[in-house]
Structure 1
């Protein structure tokens, strides 16, 4: 196993982390996998309040003599916080579930824009964090992010964070916070944890056209290994989460992690990723690469994020995509486009952006977008 040093506190973190969102129903098998992962050198385990049964299961397993061998990460469900007292109510429940008296890496779960963070500030989260850190109950405070680049930078600048977690992979290099967000966080000295390295499995089950590109390489790797290698090639990445639910997957990923080095990819190999992305784009509704050359939009539309959500409808279904669209694009949605056309002049893909934004609006902002949006916003603010 390879390790990288946290630039904030000096912790040595395994480059492969164990994502605990989905455990098997057989707890004995889950326990075998977690213990095996620790024996292989994985020392970062990530869970969350809302992952069904995850915190309690992980707590029972780690309490059998493994707690001090790992860095434990879990997340505050800010959308369940209605008043200041809820911070303690939720946090103490998590400590009880996890059978521990401190959390190594505590994240504000699923921030999407600055407004969400400001609501928490208004409820007193700054004093609450200070108290927990002084008591040693929270060692490091950070956040996980699902939104666009502009809001990510605002959140980074809004507080003295100690780490952050991004959705990032070779296909989403310029989607959501993207490469620019990664570099901005790194310039601020933040360690960066990566989620969705395989884009929910879509970078494992590649179409034939994309798979054939990787097969041209003299170096033979599985699609999953290609994905991990691209991430570990970047020195800004501290660790990469993987939801490993089988011994075979654990062994394969750990073997890849044992060879993980920054700067290991050759120019020829990096070129393969670009060609694979081109092949994948052909299966999407809009051939947007997320480069952001079209930005900023005078009306505040987050064009790459809107197109990313629109493309998801082809692979993830409209309901799931619409929910993500609402969460990610608050205030930056496609219907704000007035058709000025300034963006088109800068698009290297020659996309008819206003035309495609109209399609995005028709697809994702049709009924029941408004009632869903109102419900989600009310839930997030209350």
Structure 2
């Protein structure tokens, strides 16, 4: 197993992290998988309060003599926090589930924007974190994020975080926080943990035949998954790549790849392969947005690159998944940033290097991703999660 150093505290973290969101129902099999991963060098395990039974299962396995050999990362969902006492209510429950008295890497889960963070500040989160760190119950504090680049920059700068977790893969290089977000966080000394390295499997299954042909005939024989992982580990800014491994075959294969992969090892030929693959995948997109953000800020608050990103992903991920991501990234916020807010002022269009007719395309985004179910669903999610309070 390869390891990378956390510059904040000198922790040696395995480049392959075990994502615990989708454990199988067979707990005995899950136990074998976790122990095998640990025995073969994986030392970073990522779970969350809202992952069904995940913390409990992980805690049971680690209590059998493995706790001190690993780093546990788990998360606090901000929508569950209504008063100061809720911080401890959630956190102490997690400690009990995990059968531990401290968390190595603790995250604010899916932190959407600075407005939500400021709400938590008013409830006393600064004081609460300080107390937990003084007691040694939280070793490192960070946040996970789904959204655009500019808001990510603001979140990085709003607090002295010690790490972050982002969606990132070769198809998202210029989407969400993207490569610029990764580099910005790294420049601030933050270890960067990566989720969705395979886009939920979309970079492995149901690929266009042209892409399959490129991988099949590459100068080095590797599976699409191996190429995707190596693309990430080639980058020195990436500290840990999480994989939701739910079979022993997958665990063994990912451990092999992680153990054989060095940073900055790609050749020009390797990069050219990815260039060709992305060119093919880009042909499926509806709007040629590169996520450069030159169109921002929008006077009406529309997150233009994120809207286009979700719209383009419909061809790869399907309408339902894209709509869910669209609501999560543009609408569960104190100030919505969805496409239908566009008033067609066209201020953005004069700054677009791709000469996209943004105002026209925003109409299509709203038509495809909002529709009759959008407002009721957005209202329901905001009411349940209460991000705006």
With the shorter chain as reference, the TM-score category is over 0.9
SS of 2:100's equivalent in the other structure is: coil
Gaps of 5+ in 2: none
Please tell me whether residue 186 in structure 1 is matched to residue 193 in structure 2. no
What's the offset of the Cα at 1:207?
Answer: 1.5
What's the offset of the Cα at 1:347?
Answer: 4.4
Report if aligned partners of 2:20, 2:47 keep a CA contact under 8 Å in 1: yes
Please tell me whether residue 226 in structure 1 is matched to residue 231 in structure 2. no
- Once the two structures are superposed, residues 17-45 of structure 1 have per-residue CA deviations (whole angstroms, 9 ceiling, x without a partner) of 00000111111100000000001100000
RMSD: 1.7
SS of 1:368's equivalent in the other structure is: helix
Q: Distance in 1 between matches of 2:348 and 2:231?
A: 30
- Once the two structures are superposed, residues 47-97 of structure 1 have per-residue CA deviations (whole angstroms, 9 ceiling, x without a partner) of 001111100000000000000000011000111111111110010100000
Gaps of 5+ in 1: none
Q: Give the aligned partner of residue 364 of structure 1.
A: 369
Report if aligned partners of 1:300, 1:336 keep a CA contact under 8 Å in 2: yes
- Once the two structures are superposed, residues 180-226 of structure 1 have per-residue CA deviations (whole angstroms, 9 ceiling, x without a partner) of 11111111110000000000101112211222223342112110011
Please tell me whether residue 196 in structure 1 is matched to residue 196 in structure 2. yes
Q: Give the aligned partner of residue 338 of structure 2.
A: 333
Q: Distance in 2 between matches of 1:111 and 1:272?
A: 35
Q: Give the aligned partner of residue 165 of structure 2.
A: 165
Q: What is the TM-score with the length of structure 2 in the denominator?
A: 0.94
- The aligned runs of 1:228-247 (5 Å cut-off) are 228-247=229-248
Please tell me whether residue 87 in structure 1 is matched to residue 94 in structure 2. no
- The count of aligned residue pairs is 382
Q: What is the TM-score with the length of structure 1 in the denominator?
A: 0.95
- Once the two structures are superposed, residues 138-184 of structure 1 have per-residue CA deviations (whole angstroms, 9 ceiling, x without a partner) of 00000000111111111111100000000000000011111111111
Q: Give the aligned partner of residue 269 of structure 1.
A: 270
Report if aligned partners of 2:202, 2:317 keep a CA contact under 8 Å in 1: no
What's the offset of the Cα at 1:284?
Answer: 3.1
Report if aligned partners of 1:43, 1:71 keep a CA contact under 8 Å in 2: yes
SS of 1:308's equivalent in the other structure is: helix
Report if aligned partners of 2:21, 2:47 keep a CA contact under 8 Å in 1: yes
What's the offset of the Cα at 1:365?
Answer: 2.4
